[in-house]
Amino acid sequence: MSNILDIRNLTIELETSAGVVKVLDKLSLQLAEGEIHTLVGESGSGKSLLAKAIMGFINPRWKITADRLWWRHYDLLALNPVQRRLVTGRDMAMIFQNPGSYLDPNTKVGEQLRETIPQSELKGIYLRRKATRTVRAERLLHRVGIKDTAKVMNSYPQQLSEGIAQKVSIAMAIAHNPKLLIADEPTTAMEPNTRNQIYRLLAKLSASQGMSILMITQDLTAIIPETQRMSLVYCGQLMETGPTEKLMSEPFHPYTDAMLKMSFFNQDVAPKTRLPTLTGAIPTLQHMPIGCRLGPRCPNARRACIHQPRLSKVKQHQFACHFPLIEIVHHD
Amino acid sequence: MTDLLEVRNLSKYYSFKNGWLRPTRVCALEPINFSVKRGETIAIMGETGSGKSTLAKLIAGAEVPTSGEIYLNGELLDPNNYQQRCREIRMIFQDSFGSLNPQLTIGKQLLEPLRFNTAWTPAERQEHVYVTLQKVGLLPDHFDFYPHMLSSGQQQRVCIARAIILEPQIIVADEAFASLDPSIRAQIINLILDLQEDMGISFIFASHSPEIVRHLADKILIMHRGKMIEFDSTQALLTNPKEQLTKILLQSEQLNKALKHTTTQE
């Protein structure tokens, strides 16, 4: 399996009043074709920034450096803005949190959908093109599982429920058959039933069209069951990445372990007992600790942790920790 | 043990002006009856628009009910007597930053309920704020901070401090855990468990998460379209739910795994 997205040591620096802050610190991420990859990070971990860096929504004040930021055979950092927009526009799409607020409140949903149908796929004279647009828009809605297309297309975004609005924004995202869909917390604050519907839809789209999905989420309880690989990010540093099953059953990193215990606490903890937690709070941008940024909150932190650990590799499982929970056996 | 809170035939209708004729009435909550014991935790679950928030607001006195009564320790609570209500029943909201006043320091916001509801001297009030801040895991130094200077977890702690500062008997929380990061959420859950143990507070909360409900609640109340369709102990509802909706709401893949795990162990 080849990687279609290859990111090595991506660093994003911001200038703040307290000096230059590394918001993303040497983050690496590989995404294979047709794979669902879940990126888990708490607030302030820079996960949305990563999505923006991939998509090219870049603020000129950010300083982005990377050993590699490759999309298929394009080096995204070497492209000029026009070329980059062409590549991104053709191959990538993104959906957001709070779909209702990302749709235009003044335009009917049908009109917004018709707009997203790519011009290149339309043939014939004006009226023919117009008719094709409507047919294609309806077909898109069918594909995301909306049956009553006429009603949805004829309503304004605020008249739709959250779940339907998110489905509409997925429909708009897949209009030009992208190779990569970035979903930035698409189901936060949705109720579990709607959430599962969206997950099933995304998994189905990925399986049927070979679309890769980079799913960004805050919470380990809210991940697509079909996800093949997961990465955990904390304060802009990659903590651990690996196949989902491995990561869940044998975490190497104390952060992964803590997140698992905090999310699935019903398994070993009796009701009403105290939960295992990480002490303290997530540091703010101005007060990032040096070295491993989990340091001050980590139960295993020792002196060596003031240096940032390198990424160690055990088969497909990678983690950045000086003192992993499982002893690594070296085969030389 | 007598019931701390008793809700009798409580209901809420909203009316809209619709054309020239009679206003249309929309039912948010059909008459509901239940009771809460001292120190008990009740979870309210339901889909969007099922009346969870309405019920929480009615109990906290933020809305006036269309009909029905609420009794606290056998005493009728007057819906218009805010002073009585806010001393005994207090509320925590989902958006902690939005529910704090950005122009006042944390200390001033916490002093306010004391100023209106106690006959203490300023020095006593100040001292009580310091004690309460420490109770929720903050420092007396946070007295002079403004809300935006705190992290989201600390803001939620301030909201909890504001809720417990008058030593209420009941705390009502509407989705108080939904917008918190996992590591902070676990800390807040622990904090609420600690406070409940220390102060014997009853806790009524609305939540989507089956994991949190299973961990915290003694009893679960399931709502559907403004009606209470089930009300029973957590264990009973988990082992044999009567309604299909209960099953769906309490279902989660991780939870199912966990249940299987425990049954095979036994």
List, run by run, the mean pLDDT of 10-residue segments along chain B (266 residues). 83 80 81 89 86 87 87 84 84 86 92 89 92 87 88 86 90 84 84 87 87 87 87 84 80 52 43
Residue B87 Rama label (left phi>0; alpha psi -120 to 50; beta): alpha
pLDDT digits (tens, 9 = 90+) for A129-182: 888 899 989 988 988 888 888 999 999 988 888 888 888 998 998 888 899 999
Confidence of residue A331 (pLDDT cuts 50, 70, 90): low
The B3-16 sheet, strands edge to edge? B24-37, B3-16, B67-72, B75-76
Contact flag B182-A42 (C-beta cutoff 8 Å): yes
Domain assignment of residue B106, yes or no: yes
**Chain A (271-290) residues lying within 8 Å, Cβ to Cβ, of chain B:** 271-272, 274-278, 281-282, 284
Instruction: Tell me what pLDDT residue B266 has.
Output: 39
Burial class (CB in 10 A: 0-12, 13-18, 19+), A2: exposed
Domain assignment of residue B26, yes or no: no
Domain assignment of residue B258, yes or no: yes
How far is residue B160's CA from residue B96's CA, in Å, rounded to a whole number? 9
Which residues fall within 8 angstroms of residue A49, CB to CB, at 6 or more apart? A12, A23, A24, A236
* Nearest-by-Cβ selection for B186 from A43, A275, A282: A275
Please, what sign has the CA dihedral across residues A198, A204, A210, A215? positive
Domain assignment of residue B169, yes or no: yes
Neighbours of A5 (CB within 10 A): 24
CA-to-CA separations, A103 to A56, A113, A199, in angstroms, rounded: 20, 10, 20
pTM for this model (two decimals): 0.82
Taking the CA atoms of residue A188, residue A189, residue A192 and residue A197 in that order, the dihedral angle to the nearest 10 degrees is: -60
Helix ranges, A148-220 (H) = 149-153, 162-173, 192-209
Instruction: Tell me what pLDDT residue B260 has.
Output: 46
Share of chain A above pLDDT 90, in %: 10
Residue whose entry in the numeric block shows the structure tokens 């002093």: B111
Domain assignment of residue A309, yes or no: no
**Chain A (99-158) residues lying within 8 Å, Cβ to Cβ, of chain B:** none
Neighbours of A328 (CB within 10 A): 11
Instruction: Tell me what pLDDT residue A268 has.
Output: 66
Is A260 in contact with A248 (CB distance < 8 Å)? yes
Domain assignment of residue B213, yes or no: yes
pLDDT at A332 over 70: no
What's the count of helices (H) and strands (E) in chain B, helices before strands? 10, 10
Is A284 in contact with A209 (CB distance < 8 Å)? no
* Number of domains present in the structure of chain A: 1
Domain assignment of residue A323, yes or no: no
Nearest CA in chain A to B255: A266
Is A2 in contact with A32 (CB distance < 8 Å)? yes
Q: Chain A contacts of B194, Cβ < 8 Å?
A: 274
A260: contact with B, CB 8 A cutoff: no
CATH number for A163: 3.40.50.300
Domain assignment of residue B21, yes or no: no
CA-to-CA separations, B238 to A260, B48, B253, in angstroms, rounded: 23, 21, 14
Q: Chain A contacts of B250, Cβ < 8 Å?
A: none
What is the rounded average pLDDT for all residues in chain A? Answer: 85
Contact flag B151-A189 (C-beta cutoff 8 Å): no
ipTM of the complex: 0.78
How far is residue B39's CA from residue A323's CA, in Å, rounded to a whole number? 43
Domain assignment of residue A195, yes or no: yes
Chain mean position to CA A183: 5
Domain that holds residue B169: 34-65+78-265
Overall size of chain B counted in residues: 266
pLDDT digits (tens, 9 = 90+) for A177-216: 899 999 988 887 677 777 888 888 888 888 888 899 999 9
* Number of domains present in the structure of chain B: 1
Domain assignment of residue B72, yes or no: no
Tokens standing for residue A1: 């399996």
CATH number for B104: 3.40.50.300
Instruction: Tell me what pLDDT residue B129 has.
Output: 93
Query: Which of B154, B183, B4 lies closest to A220, judged by CA?
Result: B183
Tokens standing for residue A302: 């020792």
Query: Which of A55, A122, A113, A49 lies closest to A87, judged by CA?
Result: A55
Instruction: Tell me what pLDDT residue A222 has.
Output: 76
Å between B119 CA and nearest CA of chain A: 36
Query: Which of A218, A126, A206, A109 lies closest to A164, judged by CA?
Result: A109
Domain assignment of residue A118, yes or no: yes
Q: Apex CA B96: angle with CA B103 and CA A24, to 5°? A: 100
Contact flag B181-A42 (C-beta cutoff 8 Å): yes
How far is residue A68's CA from residue A52's CA, in Å, rounded to a whole number? 16
Å between A266 CA and nearest CA of chain B: 6
Query: Which of B158, B138, B139 lies closest to B147, judged by CA?
Result: B158
Is B159 in contact with B173 (CB distance < 8 Å)? no
Is B90 in contact with B57 (CB distance < 8 Å)? no
Contact flag A281-B209 (C-beta cutoff 8 Å): no
Å between A83 CA and nearest CA of chain B: 38
Overall size of chain A counted in residues: 332
Share of chain A above pLDDT 70, in %: 96
Contact flag B182-A281 (C-beta cutoff 8 Å): no
Q: Which 8-state DSSP code applies to residue B20?
A: S
* Nearest-by-Cβ selection for B254 from A162, A221, A259: A221
Chain mean position to CA B238: 22
Which residues fall within 8 angstroms of residue A124, CB to CB, at 6 or more apart? A132
Q: Which helix (H) or strand (E) holds A216?
A: strand A212-217
Tokens standing for residue A290: 């040096």
Q: Which 8-state DSSP code applies to residue A62?
A: S
Q: Chain B contacts of A43, Cβ < 8 Å?
A: 152, 181
Residue whose entry in the numeric block shows the structure tokens 């450096």: A65
How far is residue A249's CA from residue A231's CA, in Å, rounded to a whole number? 14
CA-to-CA separations, A212 to A77, A177, A180, A205, in angstroms, rounded: 21, 11, 5, 9
CB half-sphere exposure, A117, CA atoms < 13 A: 20
Q: Chain B contacts of A284, Cβ < 8 Å?
A: 151
Instruction: Tell me what pLDDT residue B264 has.
Output: 43
Contact flag B47-A266 (C-beta cutoff 8 Å): no
Å between B249 CA and nearest CA of chain A: 8
Instruction: Tell me what pLDDT residue A89 has.
Output: 87
Nearest CA in chain A to B208: A191
Burial A148-166 (b: 16+ CB within 10 A, else e): ebeebbeeebeebebbbbb
Contact flag B182-A264 (C-beta cutoff 8 Å): no
Domain assignment of residue B255, yes or no: yes
How far is residue A281's CA from residue B227's CA, in Å, rounded to a whole number? 40
Domain assignment of residue A178, yes or no: yes
Q: Apex CA B188: angle with CA B183 and CA B190, to 5°? A: 100
Compute chain B's Rg from CA coordinates: 20
The number of C-beta contacts closer than 8 angstroms across A and B is: 88
Instruction: Tell me what pLDDT residue B1 has.
Output: 55
